[in-house]
Structure 1
Amino acid sequence: MKQKIYLYLFLFISLIALYQFVSTNNMVKAKNTVIESQAEEMVKMEDSIRALHLNVLDMQYFSLENNDDALAYYDHLKLKSPSLYIADKLLETNESKGDNPLIPYEGMESDFKINKIKVLNHKWILADFSDGKYWGELLIKYELKDDLGVDFSLIDHLLYTRSN
């Protein structure tokens, strides 16, 4: 009788061990699959981040902040950020009543005002303008003087036509 109990006990323990082995093996396979898929996603994300980084570098290529030669023109002025200063001065032209004086069009829905500004270098600015419905772009030449005054002159402009 004692031998049968030991035999049944041995069989029972063997089944439990077999169950544990199979269950752990399945769990390890599932975890490895998850880890592999996450590793693939991580590689894709790294590629996306690299592509976005290159895109940002391309977008910053024409920018005063990243142009040391152009910034050298403003070393003597001791401005922390010349491009922000110039953009602020350009936005001040929006404060006049009516259309912005640099925009050669009359607003159709309301007054044309400058919205976005990209200071390209120590001489040129790209600007976007709108009246809320119609919009266009300006190429502006500017000169930052030693007394921190800024003169703006329009080089070229365009107004987009709406096509419905």
Structure 2
Amino acid sequence: MKQRIFMYLFVFAVLLIIFQYVNAKRVFEGLNKQNESYKVQVEKYKDSVVKLHHKIKNNTYFSLENNEDALSYFEADGYKVSELLPYIKDKLYETNEVSGEHPLVPYVSGENRKILINTVKFLNHKWLIANFSDGELWGEILVSYFVNEDKTIDFELSESFLYPNY
């Protein structure tokens, strides 16, 4: 009787080991398939990152932050670019506070609205582009700016356009 109990326990143990082996093998193969799909996704994402990097590089080509010659222009005059650019932006935004018509935007707003410059991007050491809006009309301006020796900033409108109001 004792032998039969050991034999049944042995058979049960063997069946349990076989079950564990088959189950572990199935789980292992499933994880390998999942890992392969992740590898494919990672390669796809790497390609996407490379494409986005090239797109960002192309989009920031005309940008003061990436233009060493323009940065050197300011640095040669003894300016710290990290302090100068916010100063120029502040001076440009101060033109929003002028009463009456905006001094840089050549369009007139209607119905007691005020045209304001919203966003500014420096193209190089001489030009910036800005968008403006009064809540209904909007457009963009290309502005030449000059940093004078007394640290005053002069702005001169180069081009402007107004988006059609549909």
Cα displacement (A) at 1:64: 1.2
For 2:65 and 2:88, the matched residues in 1 are separated by: 12
TM-score (norm 2): 0.89
- 153-162 vs 29-38, greater mean Cα deviation: 29-38
Cα displacement (A) at 1:37: 2.0
Cα displacement (A) at 1:141: 1.2
Secondary structure of 2:21 counterpart = helix
For 2:101 and 2:65, the matched residues in 1 are separated by: 29
1:90 has 2:76 as partner = no
Residue 123 of structure 1 contacts residue 141 of structure 1 at CA under 8 Å; is this kept in 2?
A: yes
1:137 has 2:152 as partner = no
1:77 has 2:93 as partner = no
- Give per-residue Cα distances to partners, 1:79-113, cap 9 Å, x unaligned: 24233322222111111123321001111351111
- 124-133 vs 93-102, greater mean Cα deviation: 93-102
RMSD: 1.7
For 1:74 and 1:80, the matched residues in 2 are separated by: 7
Residue 64 of structure 2 contacts residue 123 of structure 2 at CA under 8 Å; is this kept in 1?
A: yes
Secondary structure of 2:157 counterpart = strand
Percent identity of equivalent pairs: 43
Residue 64 of structure 1 contacts residue 83 of structure 1 at CA under 8 Å; is this kept in 2?
A: no
The match for 1:99 is 101
Aligned AA for 1:113? Answer: L
Q: Write out the 4+ residue segments of structure 1 that deviate beyond 4 Å after TM superposition.
A: none
Counterparts of 1:7-156 in structure 2 under 5 Å?
A: 7-75=7-75, 76-81=77-82, 82-108=84-110, 110-156=113-159
1:159 has 2:147 as partner = no
Aligned AA for 1:123? Answer: K
For 2:28 and 2:44, the matched residues in 1 are separated by: 24
Cα displacement (A) at 1:2: 4.0
For 1:7 and 1:155, the matched residues in 2 are separated by: 97
Residue 77 of structure 1 contacts residue 146 of structure 1 at CA under 8 Å; is this kept in 2?
A: no
How many residues in Structure 1 have an aligned counterpart in Structure 2? 163
Structure 2: stretches of 5+ with no match in the other structure = none
TM-score (norm 1): 0.90
Structure 1: stretches of 5+ with no match in the other structure = none
